[in-house]
Structures are given as C-alpha cells and as structure tokens.
C-alpha cells in the first residue's frame, strides 16, 4: 500500500506541474492573440473578403483582395472557400466578412427568396433591411446548366432538358448545394416534370471526373466552367427558361462605401471588367494549367488595361514563388499561418475538453444515477456528422470562424476523455478504496491523491486519442472560415488540384504523428514505472 501511495503522490505532483505548464502556455498564447488584435484595431481598418468553395469564387475573391490591397486604405484579410451561400450570408450579416462575389440569380432566389425577376435596384431595396447591398456588375453571366457526355447525348438524341423526361434511367450527379437550392434541383424537377429519382450528391471539383468515369450520366455545370473547353460535354438547352440570369456582382455590407471610400472607388473599376471569355480562361488556368489562384488573379489585373491605367497593377511574383513545384506549394507563404491556426484550434479545444471531460468521467464513475445519461449523451454527440456539427454552431453563435470551430471540436474531443476517465477509475480494485477508507482518508483526498493518479495512464490515453482525432477533424474547420490546413484541402478539392490537396493533408498527418509522439513521451515522463507495467496487480498484491 505504501508503494501505491508513493506512486500516486509522484504522479500527482507531475500531473499538477504539467497542468500549470499547459495553463502558462495557453496564457502566453492568449496574450499574444490579444496583442495582435489590439495592434490591428489600433492601426488601420480591416476589409475582410470572403469567397465560396469553387474555382471561380476563389479567383474572384483574390481579384477583389488584390485590388483593395493596392489602395492601402485598409488591412485586407481574405477568407477563401468558406462554403455555400448560407454560410457566406451569415458571415456578411454578422460582420465576419465585408464583401464577397455573388450572382444575381442566387441573390434573387436563395437570399431574397423571390420567384420574380428583379433588377439591381429592386434587389437593393430588399437587401437594405439586412444591412446589405449589391452592385459592381463584373461583366459576365455564369448561369446554371445541365450537361451530359457528348457521346451519350448524341446516342440518346438529347438536346434539351425536356428530353430527359424520355429517359428516367439516366443517373443524375449534382452538387450538394444545387440539390438543396430553391433555384436548383427541386424547382427544376417540378418545372420539367423530370422522372429521375433524387440525384447523387457530388462535390463540384469531382463531378467532371465522375461523368468521365461514367459513374453518372447527367450533371449540373456552370457556364463558365473550364472543363467545358477541354472535355466533350454537351450543355442541354434550357427550353423552358427555368434558370435566371446569374450576373456576377459584389455583395457587401451597406456601410462599406462610406467606411472605406478609396477602396470602394477602386473596386468600382471592376465594373464590366471581366468577360465570359476572361472568366473561362482564368478558370482554365487554375484547373488545367495548375496555376495558383493568387497568380491567376495577379495576371488578370496586370493584363487588364483599365485596371493597369488606374494604378492597380500588382507586383509580379518571382518565378521561384510562383513555381508549381510541390515543395513550393507545401512550404508556401501560408504554411506557418496555417500551422499556427491548426495548432491553436487543436490545443484550445483539447484544453477545454480536458477541463470538461475528466469531471464528467469522474461523475459517471461515482454516481450510477448519472452514468448512463452522461455516457449516452457524449456518445450521441459523437455520432453527429462533423461538418453538420460545425455548421450548427454558426446560427447558434451568430458568427463563423474560430469560435464555432472550437465549440464543435470540444464536443468531438469529449468522448475518449470521458470514457477513459470512467474506465480508469472503475478498474481500480475495490481493495485500494477500502484500505484508504480504513486509514480515514476523505473522498476528495482519495480522488486526487490515489484514484486519479492510478487512472492516469488510462486518462492520458484518452487525451491522446482526443488530440489525434481533433487534428484530423480540425481540417473541416476551414469550411466555416477557421483556417488551418483544411484551407488547402478544400481548395484542392474545388480546383481538382491534387498537389494542393496533398499540401494540406500531409502537414495534418505529420501533426497527428507529432502529437502521438509527444503523448508517448508524456506517458513515460508522467506515469511512474511502477504503474506502467501492471499497476493494479502490484497494488492488489500489496508489494512495498
């Protein structure tokens, strides 16, 4: 018994030292973050530009950000690939972003929920109560369309969307957003009385590969898609005129022009600056030429006469920085920013999960009345799809970014910690607690000086599992604007760029291995040798 108490004290002292060190590190990180925020607030105003998660929106977001940076009136922050319309609108209303590229058809149908055609003035009248406005028509129309492989369309003699009614056997593969949009599949199916069943949901960056592999027969497309130039794809005629006009415009917070007048004046020079041919060419450069969207945007601005004459030309990147060598992509200029963001998400969420999870595990082990409720609730949370849980916190908190991402990661990180704490405490032999009670040791003393130290190995294993899970799950945080290596993964999927995808996946995997190694070391350092072999057996035999 004496050896057990000695090991317990040893483990408790090291555990408290480690906890103090972690709190000290978190305090330093918090002070650094507060200092950065204070510094930004004290200097220039900030313009935050957002974009959706497909090639064209990535490029347009870069164009907007580059034009604004040349003015120098505000510090420009670009938050690319934030997701679908709902996420962008929530971010715009809450002030998380100030501006992003949108399409008139989406504004009318998805944001204003109007079935009638609206001009720009009518749109702005309805957007005004939301504190939003739309203007600066960029010059091209990128409407939705349905498309098929040319050989299949020719074989079945399909020219228009109405012709699909004759072929209910055709397999539809549509983007997830199009399936759920009011101006997407539900309305299209009703308008044309299409007999096809609910389509298969596929990411836009993968949909052309799916149709080439003959996994689907019909897909949705944008009329400025780069792949339409390179693949034998037939656009089906919208013979009933279902799809409205999708003219590209800027959607922004209504106070932007007054808050940043010089920047707004510069953005106004983008009016009618991008033709359909220009946009298809830029999409093709990014997807087929594998040129980074940053370079595509810079090249467009520098080659656009009106923008160059306005003094908005962007400095041309050196050949070394613009090279598509994989190592240059992997260790690009955003590498350390993404690393910092990813590590911060994991550390902060893990710290909160530990603070919440260990007491919940203790509660489950000590009180049978709450055991099933606590373990059942934590297990149920873990069954919620990760992206859905991340998105759920956006309306609950009224914001996008780090805070909702950390909330979701905390919930995902609880299960291994709670279960391992419960198991570690439940597996302690009854003889130890009986001996401690005979010695007159109180319940809290036994918990902190005997039970928790004896369960330390199990608890530490749960924390390690939680940390490794959160390293991977944190990549999804990029879909709600929280940054991290998921930004590269999302961009790689959207652009069908395998190098960019790997440049996000490899660092995330390396970070998971690093976390595993750190916890293996901590287990050796934190848990005494007397407990690592078979602590319960030693305790039961009473060796001293």
Residue 275, in any domain of the structure = yes
Q: Which of 196, 215, 235 is where one domain is finished?
A: 235
Distance between CA 115 and CA 203 in Å, rounded?
27
Structure confidence at residue 16 (pLDDT): 42
Mean residue pLDDT of the chain comes to 83
Tell whether 124 and 263 lie within a shared domain.
yes
Looking at beta carbons, which pairs linking 181-187 to residues 24 or more positions away fall under 8 Å?
Answer: 181/85, 181/109, 181/110, 182/109, 182/110, 182/113, 183/105, 183/106, 183/109, 183/110, 183/144, 183/243, 183/244, 184/144, 184/220, 185/220, 187/242
Question: Strand 132-135 to strand 248-253: parallel, antiparallel, or no bridges (unpaired)?
Answer: antiparallel
Would you give the distance in Å from CA 425 to the centre of its chain? Answer: 36
Per-residue model confidence (pLDDT) at position 9: 47
- Residue 543 maps to a domain: no
544 within a domain of the structure (yes/no): no
CATH code for the domain in which residue 373 is found:
1.10.3720.10
Domain co-membership, 66 together with 91? yes
| Contacts with 518 (C-beta within 8 Å, 6 or more apart), sequence order | none
3-state secondary structure of 296: helix
Report, as an integer, the average pLDDT of 150-154.
Answer: 94
- 39 found inside a domain: no
| Residue-wise burial string across 33-69, b where 16 or more C-beta atoms lie within 10 A, e elsewhere | eeeeeeeeeeeeeebbbbbbbbbbbbbbbbbbbbbbb
pLDDT in the model for residue 526: 67
Which range, of 28-42, 51-65, 381-395, 444-458, averages the lowest pLDDT? 28-42
Q: Let me know if residue 539 belongs to a domain.
A: no
Q: Which position has the higher pLDDT, 31 or 101?
A: 101
As a whole number, mean pLDDT of residues 180-202 equals 87
Residue 486 inside a domain? The answer is yes
**Worst-scoring range by mean pLDDT, 324-333, 403-412, 441-450, 513-522?**
441-450
Residue scoring higher pLDDT (472 or 33):
472
Separation in Å, CA 417 to CA 24, 350, 353, 359 = 22, 10, 8, 10
Domain total in the chain:
3
39 confidence band (pLDDT: 50, 70, 90): very low
Segment 166-170 shows an average pLDDT of 93
Are 295 and 270 part of one and the same domain? yes
From first CA to last CA, the distance across the chain in angstroms is 7
Task: Express each pLDDT in 97-145 by its tens digit.
Answer: 999 999 999 999 889 998 888 999 999 999 999 999 999 999 999 988 9
DSSP track, 115-162: -S---HHHHHHHHGGGTEEEE---S-B--EEEEEEHHHHHHHT--BGG
Q: Hey, is 100 helix, strand or coil?
A: strand
* 249-263 tens-digit pLDDT: 999 999 999 999 999
Do 437 and 356 sit in the same domain of this protein?
yes
What pLDDT score was predicted for residue 538?
Answer: 45
Domain containing 230 equals 144-235
pLDDT in tens, 260-293: 999 999 999 999 999 999 999 999 998 887 788 9
Question: Which among 258, 291, 324 is the end of a domain?
Answer: 324
- Is 161's pLDDT higher than 50? yes
DSSP string spanning 360-386?
Answer: HHHHHHH-HHHHHHHHHHHHHHHTS-H
Contact 453, 12 (CB under 8 A): yes
175, 182 Cβ separation under 8 angstroms: no
| Residues 377 and 472 both lie in one domain | yes
Tell whether 277 and 213 lie within a shared domain.
no
Residue where one domain finishes, among candidates 293, 324, 355: 324
Residue with tokens 């995997």: 509
As a whole number of angstroms, the distance between CA 357 and CA 421 comes to 8
What tens digit of pLDDT does each residue of 489-502 get? 988 887 777 888 89
- What is the C-alpha to C-alpha distance for residues 393 and 422, in angstroms, rounded to an integer? 28
Same domain, 255 and 188: no
CATH number at residue 194: 3.40.190.120
In the structure encoding, which two tokens stand for residue 464, read together? 């390690």
Residue the block writes with tokens 């090279």? 323
Asked, for residue 240, whether it belongs to a domain, the answer is no
What is the pLDDT, as a whole number, of residue 306? 57
pLDDT (average), residues 444-460: 80
Question: Is residue 537 situated within a structural domain?
Answer: no
Same domain, 306 and 161: no
Beta bridge partners of 219: 147, 173
- Looking at the fold, whether 366 and 494 belong to one and the same domain comes out as yes
Residues 135, 151, single domain; the answer is no
135 and 188 together in one domain: no
- Specify which of 147-156, 388-397, 430-439 reaches the highest per-range mean pLDDT: 147-156
Q: From the CB of residue 197, how many other CB atoms can be counted at a distance below 10 Å?
A: 10
pLDDT given for residue 305 in this prediction: 56
Same domain, 366 and 290: no
> What local confidence, expressed as pLDDT, does residue 434 receive?
66
Nearest residue to 46 (alpha-carbon basis) of 83, 77, 7, 82: 77
Note the pTM of the prediction, 2 decimals.
0.72
How much of the chain, in percent, has pLDDT values that exceed 70?
A: 83
How do residues 284-326 score in pLDDT, each as one tens digit?
998 887 788 999 999 999 887 556 555 555 554 443 334 457 8
Please tell me the least confidently modeled range out of 72-76, 219-223, 424-428: 424-428
What is the model's pLDDT at position 208? Answer: 83
């Amino acid at each position: 018994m004496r050896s057990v108490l000695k090991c317990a004290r040893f483990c408790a002292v090291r555990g408290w030292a480690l906890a103090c060190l972690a709190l000290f590190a978190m305090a330093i990180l918090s002070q650094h973050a507060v200092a950065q925020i204070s510094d930004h607030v004290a200097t220039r105003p900030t313009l935050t530009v957002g974009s959706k998660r497909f090639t064209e929106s990535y490029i347009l977001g870069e164009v907007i950000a580059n034009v604004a940076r040349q003015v120098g009136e505000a510090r420009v922050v670009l938050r690319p690939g934030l997701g679908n319309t709902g996420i962008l609108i929530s971010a715009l209303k809450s002030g998380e972003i100030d501006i992003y590229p949108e399409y008139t058809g989406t504004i009318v149908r998805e944001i204003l929920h109007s079935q009638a055609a609206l001009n720009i003035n009518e749109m702005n009248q309805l957007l005004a109560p939301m504190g939003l406005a739309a203007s600066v028509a960029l010059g091209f129309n990128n409407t939705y369309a349905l498309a098929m492989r040319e050989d299949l369309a020719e074989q079945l003699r399909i020219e228009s969307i109405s012709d699909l009614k004759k072929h209910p056997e055709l397999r539809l593969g549509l983007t997830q957003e199009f399936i759920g949009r009011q101006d997407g599949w539900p309305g299209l199916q009703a308008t044309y009385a299409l007999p096809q069943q609910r389509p298969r949901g596929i990411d836009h960056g993968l949909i052309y590969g799916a149709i080439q592999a003959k996994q689907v027969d019909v897909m949705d497309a944008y009329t400025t898609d780069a792949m339409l130039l390179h693949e034998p794809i037939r656009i089906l005629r919208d013979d009933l005129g279902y799809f409205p006009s999708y003219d590209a415009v800027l959607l922004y917070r209504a106070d932007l022009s007054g808050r940043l007048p010089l920047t707004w004046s510069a953005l106004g020079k983008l009016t009618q600056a991008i033709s359909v041919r220009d946009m298809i060419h830029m999409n093709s450069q990014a997807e087929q030429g594998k040129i980074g969207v940053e370079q595509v945007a810079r090249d467009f601005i520098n080659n656009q006469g009106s923008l160059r004459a306005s003094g908005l030309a962007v400095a041309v990147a050196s050949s070394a920085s613009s090279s598509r060598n994989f190592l240059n992509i992997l260790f690009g200029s955003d590498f350390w920013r993404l690393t910092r963001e990813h590590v911060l998400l994991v550390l902060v969420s893990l710290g909160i999960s530990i603070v919440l999870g260990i007491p919940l595990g203790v509660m489950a082990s000590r009180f049978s009345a709450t055991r099933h409720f606590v373990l059942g609730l934590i297990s149920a949370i873990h069954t919620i799809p990760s992206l859905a849980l991340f998105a759920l916190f956006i309306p609950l908190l009224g914001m996008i970014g780090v805070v909702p991402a950390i909330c979701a990661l905390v919930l995902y990180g609880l299960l291994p910690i709670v279960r391992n704490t419960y198991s570690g405490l439940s597996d302690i032999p009854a003889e130890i607690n009986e001996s401690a009670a005979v010695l007159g040791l109180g319940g809290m003393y036994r918990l902190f000086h005997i039970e928790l130290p004896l369960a330390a190995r199990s608890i530490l294993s749960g924390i390690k599992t939680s940390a490794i899970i959160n390293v991977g799950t944190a990549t999804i945080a990029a879909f709600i604007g929280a940054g991290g290596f998921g930004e590269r993964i999302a961009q790689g999927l959207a652009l069908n760029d395998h190098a960019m995808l790997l440049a996000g996946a490899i660092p995330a995997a390396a970070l998971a291995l690093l976390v595993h190694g750190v916890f293996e070391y901590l287990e050796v350092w934190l848990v005494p040798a007397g407990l690592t072999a078979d602590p319960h057996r030693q305790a039961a035999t009473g060796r001293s």
